[in-house]
């Protein structure tokens, strides 16, 4: 009887051990499979080549942008504001006559600040006091940004602003309204350039391009500057005295650089 129980215990032990070993083997298989998948994700390809491509696209600017300011001094703030308003209204009316829309004229700054002068103080026999700061009214300045969508009128717009009282005109630039289209064109050319280089390199190496592993886009570009033949604006003069500057918008260039990594076999 004793031998019977010993035999049953041995059989149960082997059953439990078999189940445990099976579970352990299943666990190790699952862990190995997970680790292998993780390795494949982090290491998508061992044999790769990387190439870079460059693309350029050109577009004729269709928008001219500039800013102008109107300033006036007066003993009272209201008087200075009134003078600035009259000059600003005259300039904006002239710009609208050139076809500039209301939405393309925007106030970007409006400031009022006191103005001072320095007066000397009489000296005594032993001491000359420093000059004294005395209030002398106020300065009001109104600054506006303008978009001229008919670039041929950009010079006339500058002339009108100058002749009708603008005290400062600056920031003239020519841009392209639909920048996305020219960027896409430059990117497409850069990708085609990289692909052509990859195909040539693969042929020279005796390998085959399989698929794209990674792609990076290092967009960068800048406009070709405009050239002004005549920048005499005649600021502060009359309409007859103002000379419209002759401006050349030239072309804006966008450059895109890409890097593509291919898996090879």
Question: Residue 175: how many CA atoms within 13 Å on its side-chain side?
Answer: 12
CA-to-CA separations, 27 to 33, 171, 185, in angstroms, rounded? 10, 70, 53
Q: How far apart are CA 222 and CA 155, in angstroms?
A: 23
**Mind listing the pLDDT tens digit for each residue in 54-96?**
999 999 999 999 999 999 999 999 999 999 999 999 999 999 9
Instruction: For residue 148, give the nearest of 95, 94, 87, 106 by alpha carbon.
Output: 95
Inter-residue contact 201 to 262 (CB < 8 Å)? no
User: Does the pLDDT value for residue 237 go beyond 50?
Assistant: no
Q: How far apart are CA 166 and CA 157, in angstroms?
A: 12
For range 14-36, the mean pLDDT? 74
For range 239-263, the mean pLDDT? 82
User: Does the pLDDT value for residue 234 go beyond 70?
Assistant: no
Inter-residue contact 61 to 223 (CB < 8 Å)? yes
Element (H, E) at 125: none
Residue-level pLDDT at 6: 55
Give start and end residues of each alpha helix (H) in the chain: 2-42, 77-97, 154-163, 179-205
Winning range, highest mean pLDDT, from 5-9, 26-30, 183-187: 183-187
For range 218-223, the mean pLDDT? 58
**Mind listing the pLDDT tens digit for each residue in 111-153?**
999 999 888 777 877 788 788 888 889 999 999 999 999 999 9
Q: What's the residue count for the chain? A: 265
Task: Give the angle subtended at the CA of 221 by the CAs of 218 and 227, to the nearest 5°.
Answer: 175
Give start and end residues of each alpha helix (H) in 43-125: 77-97
Could you give the 3-state DSSP secondary structure of residue 239?
Answer: coil
Q: How far apart are CA 173 and CA 160, in angstroms?
A: 17
Banded pLDDT at 41 (limits 50, 70, 90)? low
Q: How far apart are CA 192 and CA 183, in angstroms?
A: 14
Residue-level pLDDT at 13: 66
Question: What Rg do the C-alpha atoms of the chain give, in angstroms?
Answer: 38
User: Does the pLDDT value for residue 195 go beyond 90?
Assistant: yes
Residue, of 17 and 184, whose pLDDT is higher: 184
Residue, of 234 and 213, whose pLDDT is higher: 213
Element (H, E) at 38: helix 2-42
User: Does the pLDDT value for residue 5 go beyond 70?
Assistant: no
User: Does the pLDDT value for residue 200 go beyond 80?
Assistant: yes
Q: How far apart are CA 66 and CA 170, in angstroms?
A: 6
Residue-level pLDDT at 28: 78
């Amino acid at each position: 009887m004793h031998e019977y129980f010993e035999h049953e215990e041995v059989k149960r032990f082997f059953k439990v051990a078999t189940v445990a070993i099976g579970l352990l083997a299943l666990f190790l298989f699952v862990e190995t499979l997970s680790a292998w998948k993780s390795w494949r994700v982090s290491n998508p390809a061992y044999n790769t080549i990387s190439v870079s491509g460059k693309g350029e696209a050109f577009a004729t600017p269709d928008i001219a942008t500039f800013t102008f300011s109107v300033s006036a001094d007066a003993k009272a703030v209201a008087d200075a504001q009134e003078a600035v308003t009259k000059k600003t209204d005259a300039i904006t009316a002239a710009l609208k006559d050139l076809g500039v829309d209301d939405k393309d004229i925007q106030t970007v700054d409006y400031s009022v600040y006191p103005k001072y002068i320095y007066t000397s103080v009489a000296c005594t026999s032993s001491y000359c006091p420093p000059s004294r700061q005395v209030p002398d009214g106020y300065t009001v300045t109104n600054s506006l940004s303008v978009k001229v969508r008919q670039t041929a009128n950009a010079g006339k717009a500058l002339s009108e602003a100058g002749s009708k009282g603008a005290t400062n005109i600056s920031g003239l630039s020519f841009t392209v309204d639909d920048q996305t289209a020219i960027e896409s064109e430059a990117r497409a050319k850069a990708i085609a350039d990289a692909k052509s280089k990859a195909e040539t390199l693969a042929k020279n190496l005796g390998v085959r391009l399989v698929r794209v592993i990674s792609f990076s886009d290092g967009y960068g570009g800048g406009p070709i500057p405009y050239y002004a033949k005549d920048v005499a604006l005649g600021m502060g003069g009359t309409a007859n005295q103002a000379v419209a500057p002759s401006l050349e918008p030239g072309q804006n260039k966008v450059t895109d650089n890409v890097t593509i990594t291919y898996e090879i076999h």
